[in-house]
């Protein structure tokens, strides 16, 4: 996906602060953090949102969640954290590449962060 912002980050065309990377996924710090720790975890293969997940491409989500547990430990989120994926305009999705927000580091309200 040539013009997708997160595909550009994955390709290294836009710099990011990487937290974790392997052949299937990338985790990097959100540019506008809404909590002391705010990390985005994305599949390297372009998937538009949760709405585009299916039996064929959803395995990467299990890998993302398994990795989030490690990242949370690495980041010292011992009191807990929140994982959020905004899907579509009503949820306020602004980047059309599937991503999971990992938010923590202070007590979270019922707002996203």
Closest contact distance (angstroms) between CB of 55 and ligand 5GP is 24
**Contact letters (x/-) for Zn ion, 18-57, by CB under 5 A?**
----------------------------x-----------
> What SS3 string covers the chain?
CCCCHHHHHHHCCCCCCEEEECCCEEEEECCCCCCCEEEEEEECCCCCCHHHCCCCCCHHHHHHHHHHHHHHHHCCCCCCEEEECCCCHHHCCCCCCCCEEEEECCCCCCCCC
Nearer to ligand 5GP, 32 or 78 (CB): 32
Of residues 86, 105, 108, 113, which one binds ligand 5GP by CB under 6 A?
Answer: 86
| Active-site residue identified among 63, 70, 97, 99 | 99
Q: Which residues are catalytic?
A: 99
């Amino acid at each position: 996906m040539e013009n997708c912002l997160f595909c550009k980050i994955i390709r290294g065309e836009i710099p990011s602060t990487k937290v974790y990377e392997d052949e299937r996924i990338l985790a990097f710090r959100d540019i506008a953090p809404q909590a002391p720790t705010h990390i985005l975890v994305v599949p390297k293969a372009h998937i538009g949102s949760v709405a585009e997940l299916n039996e064929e491409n959803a395995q990467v989500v299990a890998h993302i969640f398994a990795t989030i547990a490690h990242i949370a430990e690495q980041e010292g989120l011992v009191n807990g954290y929140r994982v959020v994926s905004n899907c579509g305009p009503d949820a306020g999705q602004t980047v059309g590449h599937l991503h999971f927000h990992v938010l923590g580091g202070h007590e979270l309200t019922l707002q996203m962060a």
